[in-house]
């Protein structure tokens, strides 16, 4: 995460960030043509986002482990002799 001190932001942005109840409010940063360039989210929203990403990563890891075929991996792995033969070339 890139970081910036609150006091270097424009007053309008500081006011939006420091509202009394900004929990559900994100702040869109728009370009000159109105296109979304970035978003400022609340710490609570950021924590929720990280939690969901970690849950997805854990799900992918579990799926990989469940589908991992150790016998196939062992059968297809090079032996020490194979590595030594490759060095002789």
What's the rounded Cα separation, in Å, for the pair 29 and 13? 10
Helix (H) or strand (E) holding 72: helix 70-76
Helix (H) or strand (E) holding 60: helix 43-67
What's the rounded Cα separation, in Å, for the pair 1 and 53? 15
Q: Would you write out the chain's pLDDT as a tens digit for each of its 89 residues? A: 889 999 999 999 888 888 877 656 788 899 999 999 999 888 888 899 899 999 999 898 888 888 887 777 777 777 888 778 766 55
DSSP 4: -
Whole-number pLDDT of residue 10: 92
What's the rounded Cα separation, in Å, for the pair 87 and 89? 5
This prediction has a pTM of: 0.52
What's the rounded Cα separation, in Å, for the pair 69 and 77? 12
């Amino acid at each position: 995460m890139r970081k910036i001190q609150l006091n270097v932001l424009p007053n309008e942005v500081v006011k939006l960030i420091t509202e009394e109840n900004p929990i559900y409010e994100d702040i869109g940063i728009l370009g000159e043509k109105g296109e979304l360039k970035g978003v400022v989210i609340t710490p609570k929203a950021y924590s929720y986002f990280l939690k969901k990403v970690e849950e997805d990563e854990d799900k992918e890891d579990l799926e990989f482990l469940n589908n991992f075929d150790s016998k196939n991996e062992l059968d297809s792995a090079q032996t020490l002799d194979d590595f030594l033969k490759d060095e002789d070339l």
